[in-house]
């Protein structure tokens, strides 16, 4: 089952898990559209034919869903328009029993792992595989999809730099990440961005203006800013694009790119533009490193099930495959330790501003 937002490498994990199981004589089924498939009893067999050619495909052949929570499932509305919720965990177990499902591999982020832990507590053997382009899951130092998202963002920043140079502009590129700045940090360093703004380091507008003015005074043709969607000013709040009431994670961040672009031009006189990369970071074929990582994680998930080690999430720690309790990532986010992170320090030494000095 794949839950939460889509991510490059999901199909590679599905392929690794299913091929491993099928080669051991284990029947494999896929649950469609995350927990919603369990709730609505949408389950289908997976065969070698289904798995053929999916290693390089983006997205997920099973579909996904980032709004379904079996313990709080929207089933209608009250007269005043407010949603009516119902705990449908029992319905999910009916689905599991009907299809003779004896173990479940759940591929998803922190919200999906939180749900998986609830199934494990009720006795179902569950193994989780951490997925998110944001790289913010506790218990593992890297998630598949992250490296593809960073590559996509870096290529976009490289392309934006050339047009910025041509027109002597400040260009702001807004990337994803929620409350964690991993994508902005890595793509910002890889692209040589002049300003890198991440949620973990609150910035001041004046510091950003000063960097743009400084580059202009040095005769530089442009300024490139890589900005995480969750970046915020000192003493300020993140910019919320919208709230999705039916989602377990209702806050959708966005808008910081336009905000900065408008203010930079007004304050410095330097013509500014902004680009929001959005879901382009989630799409497309996974890079080789993510295909390899997905295959390793999927294989390790099956190894754990064969060894009877359920209620675990596969992980990478200090470059080594391992596993942690499913409860470890529940309700948490792994953020950039800005004071100690080596890449933050390296970025500062080569002249990148984080807007805080």
Per-residue 3-state assignment (H helix, E strand, C coil) for 216-240: HHCCCCCEEEEEECCCCECCCCCCE
Spans of all domains in the chain? 10-144+286-325, 149-283+337-349
What percent of the chain has a predicted confidence (pLDDT) above 90? 82
- Catalytic residue ranges: 134
10-144+286-325 CATH pick, 3.30.1180.10, 1.10.3720.10, 3.40.50.450, 3.40.50.300: 3.40.50.450
Question: Which CATH class for the 149-283+337-349 domain?
Answer: alpha beta
Position 239 scores a pLDDT of 84
Pairing mode, strands 312-317 and 251-253: unpaired
Task: Supply 167's token pair.
Answer: 């027109």
Band (pLDDT 50/70/90 cuts) for residue 247 is low
Mean pLDDT over the full length of the chain: 93
| Cβ pair 274, 258 in contact under 8 A | yes
Question: Can you tell me the mean pLDDT for 169-189?
Answer: 96
Instruction: Answer yes or no: same fold for 10-144+286-325 and 149-283+337-349.
Output: yes
Question: Can you tell me the mean pLDDT for 332-336?
Answer: 92
User: pLDDT tens for residues 71-121?
Assistant: 988 888 898 888 889 999 999 999 999 999 999 999 998 889 999 999 999
Which residue would you say has higher pLDDT here, 201 or 67? 201
Band (pLDDT 50/70/90 cuts) for residue 4 is confident
What percent of the chain has a predicted confidence (pLDDT) above 70? 98
354 Cβ contact partners less than 8 Å away, ≥ 6 residues apart = 195, 196, 197, 198, 201, 203, 338, 344, 347, 348
Pairing mode, strands 104-108 and 126-130: parallel
Q: Which residue has the tokens 């953020």?
A: 335
Q: 68-82, 124-138, 255-269: which range is least confident on average?
A: 68-82
DSSP string spanning 260-275? HHHHHHHHH---EEEE
């Amino acid at each position: 089952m794949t839950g939460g937002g889509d991510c490059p490498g999901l199909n590679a994990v599905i392929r690794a898990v299913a091929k491993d199981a099928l080669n051991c004589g284990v029947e494999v089924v896929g649950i469609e559209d995350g927990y919603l498939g369990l709730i609505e009893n949408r389950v289908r067999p997976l065969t070698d034919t289904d798995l053929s050619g999916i290693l390089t495909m983006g997205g997920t052949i099973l579909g996904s869903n980032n709004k379904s929570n079996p313990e709080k499932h929207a089933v209608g509305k009250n007269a005043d328009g407010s949603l009516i919720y119902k705990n449908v965990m029992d319905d999910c177990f009916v689905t599991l029993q009907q299809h003779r499902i004896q173990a479940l591999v759940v591929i998803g982020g922190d919200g999906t792992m939180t749900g998986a832990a609830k199934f494990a507590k009720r006795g179902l053997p569950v193994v989780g595989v951490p997925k998110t382009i944001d790289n913010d899951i506790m218990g593992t130092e890297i998630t598949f999809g992250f490296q593809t998202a960073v590559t996509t963002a870096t290529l976009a920043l490289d392309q934006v730099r050339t047009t910025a140079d041509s027109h002597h502009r400040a260009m702001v590129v807004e990337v994803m990440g929620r409350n964690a700045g991993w994508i902005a940090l890595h793509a910002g360093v890889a692209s040589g961005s002049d300003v890198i703004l991440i949620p973990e380091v609150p910035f001041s507008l004046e510091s950003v203006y000063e960097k743009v003015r400084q580059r202009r005074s040095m005769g530089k043709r442009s300024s490139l800013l890589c900005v995480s969607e969750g970046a915020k000013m000192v003493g300020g709040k993140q910019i919320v694009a919208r709230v999705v009431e039916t989602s377990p994670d209702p806050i959708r961040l966005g808008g910081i790119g336009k905000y900065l672009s408008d203010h930079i031009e007004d304050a410095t006189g330097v013509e500014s533009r902004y680009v929001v990369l959005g879901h382009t970071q989630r799409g497309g074929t996974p890079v080789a490193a993510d295909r390899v990582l997905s295959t390793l994680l999927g294989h390790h998930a099956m190894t754990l099930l064969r060894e009877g080690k359920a209620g675990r999430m596969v992980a990478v720690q200090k470059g080594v495959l391992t596993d942690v309790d499913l409860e470890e990532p529940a309700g948490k986010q792994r953020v950039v330790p800005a004071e100690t992170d080596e890449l933050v320090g390296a970025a500062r030494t080569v002249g990148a501003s984080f807007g805080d000095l």
